[in-house]
Amino acid sequence: MVQLVDHYPTRKLETPSFINRKDPTVYNFDINQNEIDLLQLESYDNNGYLFLDQFFNEEEVERFKSETKILLEQSRSAKNPEVILEPGGDEVRSVFAVHEKPGFFKDLTAHPRLQAVIRQMIGSDVYVHQSRINFKPGFTGKEFYWHSDFETWHAEDGMPNMRALSCSIALEDNTLYNGSLMVIPGSHRVFVSCVGRTPDNHYKESLRRQEYGVPDQESLTKLVNEGGIAMPVGKAGSVLLFDCNLMHGSSSNITPYPRSNAFFVFNSVENKLQSPFSADKERPTFIATR
């Protein structure tokens, strides 16, 4: 594959640095759907995320829960690479590539109301770059350190530009206490170039524990001093949309409440993957659709 110019070099230099974003966050400001208005779109542009409380109704949420339960049961005994376990345990942490098997979750990625919002932001047709169901079990859910998803998708998957977003659908009520996602508002406007080379088959470890592509403490402190920290929480059925370069992470979950969510990444059809920018090998397609 042709290697494009690398606008966001990472894992190549000795010291971390900030690189200004070269791409828009919102690609189309002409409102072309009825789900979100211009104010919401501008808020997404500014903060790098948008929280839509109770986007899905109670009936839909009931269906989410029963389908998640079925998936968890099936995954417990499965030995597929798509099933990721918690570090140091055998609880299921995530199930990947749920958009590839015909069924409920594949249909959910194509949900017309959801698609309308996403195409508004991305300004083109989109496809699913990655999908997974995350089970953050009660009592034992582990923290996930700060990161920009784009850093990984760029370095390890060859995503050239910032024209993708993540969509997290809450399958349970999220509270302030059960390890919900924390975001640094505005952090999507700069790219934190990380240090350290990507080791071979990094993905096998990185889905459980991160060591490379980790932003440095000084850069994180600057971002937090500027933007603060927000934790968008709400009822099951709420949707969090966030830009591919928004810095986010989560604390551990010692509460009895699990925090499951469906996590879909939509990429523009005009932003197709190239060769990885900072890794020797492509990651498997269950992690990065090609």
Given 139, 197, 201, 226, the residue binding its own copies (CB under 8 A): 139
Figure out which of the listed residues 38, 78, 110, 254 binds its own copies, where binding follows CB under 8 A: 254
Residues 168-197 that bind its own copies (CB under 8 A): 175-177, 179, 182
Residue whose CB is less far from its own copies, 85 or 224: 224
Least Å distance, CB 231 to its own copies, is 6
Q: Which is nearer to its own copies, 114 or 236 (CB)?
A: 236
The residue written with tokens 């024209």 in the block is 163
- Binding region for its own copies (CB under 8 A) out of 116-124, 159-167, 247-255, 278-286: 247-255
Q: Which is nearer to its own copies, 37 or 226 (CB)?
A: 226
> Per CB under 8 A, which of residues 198..227 are in contact with its own copies?
217, 220-221, 224-225
| 84 beta partners | 94
CB 249 within 8 A of CB 220: no
Nearer to its own copies, 103 or 228 (CB): 228
Interactions with its own copies, residue window 145-164 (CB under 8 A) = 145-146
- Please select the residue that binds its own copies; options are 138, 186, 196, 284, rule is CB under 8 A: 138
Least separation in angstroms between CB 175 and its own copies: 8
Burial tier of 39 (Cβ tally within 10 Å: 0-12, 13-18, 19+): exposed
Alpha-carbon gap, residue 21 to 146, rounded angstroms? 18
List, in order, residues 6 or more apart from 133 with CB less than 8 Å away.
68, 71, 94, 95, 98, 105, 171, 260, 261, 262, 263
Q: What is the rounded distance in angstroms from the CA atom of residue 37 to the CA atom of residue 117? A: 10
Which of 35, 186, 229, 235 is in the footprint of its own copies by CB under 8 A?
Answer: 229
Q: How far is the CB of 62 from its own copies (least distance, A)?
A: 21
Among 94, 161, 198, 253, which residue interacts with its own copies (rule: CB under 8 A)?
Answer: 253
If one asks whether residue 88 binds its own copies (CB under 8 A), the answer comes out as no
Q: Tokens 């890794």: give the residue.
A: 279
Answer for which of 28, 46, 251, 289 binds its own copies (CB under 8 A) is 251
Please, which residue, 151 or 157, has the CB nearer to its own copies? Answer: 151
Beta-strand runs (E) in the chain: 17-20, 49-52, 83-85, 92-96, 126-134, 144-147, 164-170, 181-183, 190-193, 239-243, 248-250, 261-268
Choice between 40 and 252, CB closer to its own copies: 252
State the sign of the Cα–Cα–Cα–Cα dihedral 54, 69, 99, 204: positive
Question: What Å distances lie between residue 266 and 60, 91, 124, 210, 211, CA to CA?
Answer: 21, 27, 11, 23, 25
Chain residues in the site for its own copies (CB under 8 A)? 138-139, 143, 145-146, 175-177, 179, 182, 217, 220-221, 224-225, 229, 231, 249-257
